[in-house]
A and B are shown apart, each in its own frame.
Chain A
Amino acid sequence: MALYIVKRLGWIIFNLLILSLIAFALIKSVPGSFLELQILLGQAGTTATGLTVSEIDKIRGVETEMMKRWGPTVPLWEQYVTFIKGVVTLNMGPSFRWPTQTIEEIIRKTFPVSFTIAVLAITIAVFIGIPLGVIAALKQNSWIDYLVSALVMIVSAIPNYVMAVFVIFLFSFWIPILPTYGWGHPKNYILPVLAMSFGPIGSIAGYMRTSLLDALKQDYIRTAWAKGGTERYVIFGHAMKNSLIPLVTILGPMISHLILGTVFVEGMFGVPGMGQYFSQAANSRDYPLMMAQTVIFGLILMVMNLIVDIIYFFLDPRIRISRR
């Protein structure tokens, strides 16, 4: 098992290198650059990048640093090496868009926020989604099943920023108990977490329903009935065990996407998470931050998949024993 994890970590590093190379090449080949925008800035004023005059002044201070790393005279391979070195030594230099902050500062500040929200949202989704799916499966073709299936469809189809509007209406307008915007108080977590949990609740409930229905059709369930099992023994002792295994696979990518793919929701609630920074990085051609973001997203996805595989390892004896 330890050897397996080490092997997987090796693969993650290798994959990240490939990923960063592709990201670097793609970003470099996109027309327009932050430096070009800077030149435009000199002519057209502050509107082009949204920087204020005082920020531009601060840029002047880190200009030499940036030119040394990313300047037009520096060869591409050297820029790439600098970038990789920066990632490894956690010294990625200043962001273009927020020149007063280094990239690692931005990540250190925003990652915990996004991560906490994502984990809370997925936890809620698991604790609501699984029971919903189980009830729907056990009462297949009853009104409860139809209701759950309809809810699954609705919450999966509605984007989370629309859900955000809905929860704002519900808890800040009709029942005014929660703040609509702001940060700093635990209360501020509630609405964004709620808004983000609806989609995953839908997918988890839907997945759980299908997975449990499939398990209940298996021959070994007929065997369990034939052995004289009660509903409790047959469904929770046998069928659930089998149906939870495929569910675990979708949780990993789901968390990764929640961590990074929540730009709109963060914007609506004023959450200082990663999504905000990263979306602006792309708009302002902030290469260092964009590349850091690509690598981080890759890293989160791969680490989540590794965690899923480790959980799999404990849930499924077929994998556990074949890898021993």
Chain B
Amino acid sequence: MELLLSIEDLRVYFYRPEGVLKAVDGLSYRLYKGEVLGIVGESGSGKSVSVLSILRLLPANGRIVSGSIIFDGKDILNLSREELRDLRGKDIGIVFQDPMSSLNPVITIGQQVMEPLLWHNLCSRSEAYERAKEMLGLVGIPLPEERMKEYPFQFSGGMRQRVMIALALICRPKLLIADEPTTSLDVTIQAQIIRLLKRMKEEFGMSVILITHNLALTTNFCDRLIIMYAGNMMETGRTKDILYNPSHPYTKSLLDAVPDIEVDKELIPIPGTIPNLIDPPSGCRFHPRCPNTMDICKEEAPPLFDIDTDHYSACWLYRRA
């Protein structure tokens, strides 16, 4: 498979009055063309920050302090503003968590969907209009031509997220980033949106990064998963390997916390809270909450150990003697 995105040892720090918050601390992963990668973790695990870095859309106090991001042969961290602008919206589309606040309330839906095409000078205004209409139909907006004249407040939450997906895909990007696309939606709508993303993936064949804290959403969609905790990768592997054969204690606890309608099981919450990333725990960052803590966990951060084919776990339990 052909490589699309490769992130090496990414460190993203936030400079706050209280100190330096290490939101992402040494993250590396690869994404191949046509692949769907899920990044799963609790809030504050650094999953959103890691993808916002790809577009260099971090808040003003956030800085990429080291590492490299190579997208489609381009070194993102060394691009000029102009080159970066050229990538955004054209080669990389992004869907954010809250479709209400992510759309401009005083600009028509049609205009907002057409803008990526117009801003990148990809086509004329009339052609952009036609393409926006077609795309809105494709993402399941009924009567797209009428609805293009309307404003975000006239759309329901699910419909707004469809609009966000339409404007992220209108330039046929090579990569679609979906940053918790279903978190602010009704449960019934969540499945529809994931199904829509899957359909769009089949239609356009782009690579997808799906960020979520809900493992259940990844099952039928993602080829591969990354489990993140406190700015570090805990485990990565093919989706079915992670779901059916989890190796890391954190992944296991995550799965224990997911309700399953078919199996009558007890939900076990993970004890404790996510650590303060200004002063993170020593060694493995999960050790204060881990049921299998050993002495070495407190002293040294574990590297990724081989579990299986393409399946790695950052846990000292898998150190070979």
Interface centre among A224, A226, A316 (most CB of B within 10 A): A226
Interchain nearest-CB distance for A261 vs B (Å):
33
Interchain nearest-CB distance for B10 vs A (Å):
19
List A residues 260-306 near B (Cβ within 8 Å).
none
Query: Do the beta carbons of B96 and A223 come within 8 Å of each other?
Result: yes
Residues in chain A near residue B120, CB distance under 8 A: 228
CA distance A100 to B119 in the complex (A): 68
A318 in contact (CB, < 8 A): yes
B65 in contact (CB, < 8 A): no
Given known pairs A318-B151, A321-B151, the reply for A228 and B107 (CB within 8 Å) is no
A245 in contact (CB, < 8 A): yes
- Number of A residues, CB within 8 Å of B: 23
A229 in contact (CB, < 8 A): yes
Query: Do the beta carbons of B107 and A241 come within 8 Å of each other?
Result: yes
Residue of A nearest to B91 (CB): A228
CA distance A229 to B153 in the complex (A): 23
Interchain nearest-CB distance for B181 vs A (Å):
13
B144 in contact (CB, < 8 A): no
Binds A, one of B97-105, B130-138, B205-213: B97-105
Interface residues of B (CB under 8 A from A): 55, 57, 85-90, 93-94, 96, 98, 101-108, 115-116, 119-120, 151, 153-154, 164, 167
Residues in chain A near residue B103, CB distance under 8 A: 220, 223
CA distance A2 to B55 in the complex (A): 48
Residue of B nearest to A221 (CB): B104
Contact sample, A vs B, 28 pairs, CB 8 Å cutoff: A219-B98, A219-B102, A220-B101, A220-B104, A222-B102, A223-B102, A224-B115, A225-B55, A225-B88, A226-B88, A226-B96, A227-B89, A227-B115, A227-B116, A228-B86, A228-B88, A228-B116, A229-B85, A229-B89, A230-B119, A233-B115, A238-B104, A241-B104, A241-B106, A242-B104, A242-B106, A317-B106, A317-B108
CA distance A241 to B98 in the complex (A): 21
CA distance A230 to B106 in the complex (A): 19
Residues in chain A near residue B89, CB distance under 8 A: 226-229
CA distance A164 to B107 in the complex (A): 43
CA distance A231 to B72 in the complex (A): 25
CA distance A228 to B154 in the complex (A): 25
Choose one: A218, A226, A242; the contact of B55 (CB below 8 Å): A226
Query: Do the beta carbons of A218 and B94 come within 8 Å of each other?
Result: no
Residue of A nearest to B87 (CB): A228
Interchain nearest-CB distance for A300 vs B (Å):
29
Residue of B nearest to A225 (CB): B57
A315 in contact (CB, < 8 A): yes
Residues in chain B near residue A227, CB distance under 8 A: 88-89, 115-116, 119, 167
Residues in chain B near residue A318, CB distance under 8 A: 105-106, 151, 153
Choose one: A222, A241, A316; the contact of B96 (CB below 8 Å): A222
